[in-house]
Amino acid sequence: MYIVETRTKASRIAGIAALVLLVALIAAPLFASRSMIQDLFFILTMLTLAQFWNLLAGYGGLVSVGQHAFVGIGAYTLFGAGILWGMDPIAALLICGVVAAIIAVPTAFFAFRLAGAYFAIGTWVVAEVVRLLVAQWQTLGGGSGTSLPPQARDFIGVETIATLLDVRTAAARDIVTYWLALALAVATIGGIYWLLRTKRGLALAAVRDNIEAAKSVGVDAVRMKWLVFLVSAFGTGIAGGLIYLQKGRVSPDAAFSVTDWTAFVIFIVVIGGIGTVEGPIIGVIVFFLLQSLLADYGSAYLIVLGALGIVIMLFAPRGIWGLISARTGIQLFPIRRRLRRAATSTKPTTGERHG
Amino acid sequence: MPILSLQNVSKSFGALKVTDDVSFDVPQGQALGIIGPNGAGKSTLFNLITGNIAADRGTVIFDGQDVTRVSPMQRCLAGVGRSFQIPQPFSNLTVFENLVVAAAHGQARREKDVADMCATILERTELIDRANDPAGGLSLLQRKRLELARAMATRPKLLLLDEIAGGLTEGECQALIRTIRAIHAEGTTIIWIEHVLHALNSVVERLLVLDFGRVIGLGEPAAIMASREVREIYLGIDI
């Protein structure tokens, strides 16, 4: 007599539009210039980082400002695997995620003892500690960093793509890393959206609203925090590895940059709309446009970003997507479970029912 | 065998003894009322039963198992359901989702298997028309109903109600009593803290009086209400 629905008309249209966009993005290397592919790579990897930070802070209530630790760990795992073990970088990407998740365990063990602002500072401190430790690692260039050796740069598929598309090896490398970034971003969005639609996603929302009440209805709040923290570390680690596979050169200051991999990521989520899957997508586009527009203005660019972030936080705390969604009611990734009376009982009938 | 048994349970906050050597049993299927002046330790006693507060001393036995050191989540899974004195809805979830999260996690069942049950509870608690609205927008009566509905969604063997009738109008109160009676009639054991005595006494079979963390009376409601000590301490009547 009752049915539960989550899909909306907008989400069906969005699903079709997303498929078309996905096909266009997969085919992009056929018609796009090399610099455009690099821009798209940047957008997709930032989007992945933003989705994971949003999962942590927006859904899990864990406001971490130390996610650059996992980007750096991913980057150095990739270089370590390539330089020390001569591993194929694409295979090493998975290891980047695993290593990040392993290091996330002791991090969480300490950080979960802290709450709110203390948690945020705690994660930052951990990231600094990891950066300082990595800077001592002389085999990987110590404080000044190192480049990926030539043999480690010719990973699977590059030669094939170079011949197929008739481009130079360097361009082919960009194309392969771009496809990997696209796959990672799609898997991230799909995976997070799937999680939010399961009963664990509902539990996350319940914990965020009221942790005591959540525990009292049988929600394992501690397990939810661990799940979110480890999943985010895993994904952020892979993204970190991929970003530095494309760059081909790593140094502790760049790979563990709080500005590049945490502040910008937070900016993207906040202006886009925290606690929504759509938010980071809007946010990363706005961020990219601002960055392109303000590229020539040096540090004034950061001042503009910061000011804009503050304005959004004050006047639109749910971000740009929050404004759009509140005005129009549109949800592209709906997670609401709506209870509906089945068609037979919508009308209160006094006589015989026709169904 | 009693479904719930407290044995010499004590809890202090600093120097203040909030629960002082409390022992009592609740037989399966009974409705027990708890009364006492403000600050007598009634809500703390609830939190000791649900596990939101850990006891300093003593033992809490639920359904034959020692649960003294068991987490609130595990106690919920074992069959302890509660409402909060100040309603604590999951404000950004809909009313229906509030119940689904409780039913799916509190009973460790799959989400699609609990949807019908949640809809039925919403009908019984007269919240069905608000099913798809965010719980944050409910009125006081509806919030109280949601507290009850959400606790029921976990399918409790023991239902703890904390001042669920407080602040309601007489008509609202009567409607709520009917719902609670119906739940009790199905065999759910109930412990109910309430200041609205006529509401309480129309449902419960036994009354427990708490004062300064101690049990000062336990028995038939009529006998308890007539006792001199209770009248003096609780009703503030100077004899």
Reduced to 3 states, what is the DSSP secondary structure of residue B162?
A: strand
* pLDDT at residue number B233: 72
Determine whether B2 is exposed, middle or buried from the number of CB atoms within 10 Å of its CB (0-12, 13-18, 19+).
middle
Give the DSSP letter of residue B16: E
Q: Over 60: is that where the pLDDT of A328 sits?
A: yes
**Cβ of B73 and A203 within 8 Å?**
no
Copy the structure tokens of residue B50: 């649900």
Q: Over 80: is that where the pLDDT of A109 sits?
A: yes
Tokens 């980071």 correspond to what residue? A280
* B90 contacts chain A (CB < 8 A): yes
Q: Over 90: is that where the pLDDT of A71 sits?
A: yes
Average pLDDT, chain A: 89
Handedness of CA B173, B178, B179, B183 (dihedral sign): positive
A340 vs A331: CA distance, rounded Å: 18
Nearest Cβ partner for A206 among B90, B96, B151: B90
B69 vs A74: CA distance, rounded Å: 40
How do strand B206-211 and strand B214-219 relate by DSSP bridges? antiparallel
Give the DSSP letter of residue B175: H
Copy the structure tokens of residue A11: 């989400």
Copy the structure tokens of residue A95: 């290891």
If phi over 0 gives left and psi between -120 and 50 gives alpha, with beta otherwise, what is residue B167?
left
Q: Please indicate, yes or no, if residue A100 is contained in any of the structural domains.
A: yes
Of the given ranges (A143-157, A225-239, A339-353, B137-151), which has the lowest mean pLDDT? A339-353
CA angle at residue A241 from A240 to A242, to 5 degrees? 90
Handedness of CA B103, B109, B110, B114 (dihedral sign): negative
Q: What is the CATH number of the domain that holds A165?
A: 1.10.3470
Residue of A8, A204, A216 to mutate when probing chain B, most B C-beta within 10 A: A216
* pLDDT at residue number B26: 94
How do strand A146-147 and strand B16-27 relate by DSSP bridges? unpaired
* Average pLDDT score over residue span A270-285: 94
Nearest Cβ partner for A210 among B90, B118, B132: B90
Tell me what ipTM this predicted complex has. Answer: 0.88
Q: Directed axis angle between helix A264-272 and helix A34-53, to 10°?
A: 80
Q: Over 50: is that where the pLDDT of A346 sits?
A: no
A2 vs B147: CA distance, rounded Å: 22
Q: Please indicate, yes or no, if residue A347 is contained in any of the structural domains.
A: no
Report the 10 Å Cβ neighbour count for A186. 17
Q: Over 90: is that where the pLDDT of A128 sits?
A: yes
**Cβ of B132 and A208 within 8 Å?**
no
The b-or-e profile of A214-236 (16+ CB within 10 A means b, else e) is: bbbbbbbbeebbbbbbbbbbbbb
Report the 10 Å Cβ neighbour count for A124. 18
Reduced to 3 states, what is the DSSP secondary structure of residue A251?
A: coil
Collect all residues with Cβ–Cβ distance below 8 Å to B139 and sequence separation of at least 6.
Answer: none
Q: Please indicate, yes or no, if residue A31 is contained in any of the structural domains.
A: yes
Amino acid at A353: R
* B133 contacts chain A (CB < 8 A): no
Closest CA to A240 of A81, A110, A31, A11: A81
Collect all residues with Cβ–Cβ distance below 8 Å to A109 and sequence separation of at least 6.
Answer: none
Collect all residues with Cβ–Cβ distance below 8 Å to B46 and sequence separation of at least 6.
Answer: B82, B160, B162, B191, B193
A69 vs A106: CA distance, rounded Å: 13
Q: Over 90: is that where the pLDDT of A127 sits?
A: yes
Residues of chain A numbered 170-229 and touching chain B (CB < 8 Å):
198-199, 202-203, 205-206, 208-210, 212-221
Q: Please indicate, yes or no, if residue A350 is contained in any of the structural domains.
A: no
Q: Over 90: is that where the pLDDT of A297 sits?
A: no
Q: Which residues of chain B have pLDDT under 50?
A: 239
A195 vs A214: CA distance, rounded Å: 18
Of the given ranges (A7-11, A23-27, A261-265, B100-104), which has the lowest mean pLDDT? A7-11
* B89 contacts chain A (CB < 8 A): yes
Structural domain boundaries in chain B: 1-79+156-239, 89-153
A82 vs A249: CA distance, rounded Å: 12
Q: What is the number of domains present in chain A?
A: 1
CA distance A85 to chain B (A): 45
**pLDDT tens digits for range A178-198:** 999 999 999 999 999 999 999
Residue A314 Cα distances to A102, A277, A307, A325, A328, angstroms: 37, 21, 11, 18, 21
- Residue of chain A whose alpha carbon sits nearest to that of B98: A206
Tokens 């065999």 correspond to what residue? B187
* Average pLDDT score over residue span A314-339: 88
B110 vs A9: CA distance, rounded Å: 26
If phi over 0 gives left and psi between -120 and 50 gives alpha, with beta otherwise, what is residue B117?
alpha
Closest CA to B79 of B159, B166, B173: B159
A214 vs A199: CA distance, rounded Å: 13
Copy the structure tokens of residue A40: 């798209």
* Average pLDDT score over residue span A308-333: 89
Report the 10 Å Cβ neighbour count for B149. 25
Beta bridge partner(s), residue B13: B16
Of the given ranges (A31-35, A159-163, B8-12, B52-56), which has the lowest mean pLDDT? A159-163
B119 vs A331: CA distance, rounded Å: 24
**Cβ of B76 and A217 within 8 Å?**
yes
Which helix (H) or strand (E) is B75 found in, with range?
helix B72-78
Residues of chain B numbered 56-75 and touching chain A (CB < 8 Å):
71-73
How do strand B31-35 and strand B206-211 relate by DSSP bridges? parallel
Q: Directed axis angle between helix A34-53 and helix A169-197, to 10°?
A: 30
* Average pLDDT score over residue span A76-85: 88
Domain enclosing residue A78, as ranges: 2-342
* pLDDT at residue number B237: 59
* pLDDT at residue number B238: 55
- CATH class in words for B1-79+156-239: alpha beta
* pLDDT at residue number B234: 66
A69 vs A52: CA distance, rounded Å: 14
Collect all residues with Cβ–Cβ distance below 8 Å to A39 and sequence separation of at least 6.
Answer: A288
- Residue of chain B whose alpha carbon sits nearest to that of A201: B101
* pLDDT at residue number A299: 82
* Average pLDDT score over residue span A221-228: 92
Residue A34 Cα distances to A21, A31, A44, A179, A258, angstroms: 19, 10, 15, 13, 28
Closest CA to A239 of A36, A83, A60, A101: A101
Amino acid at A336: R
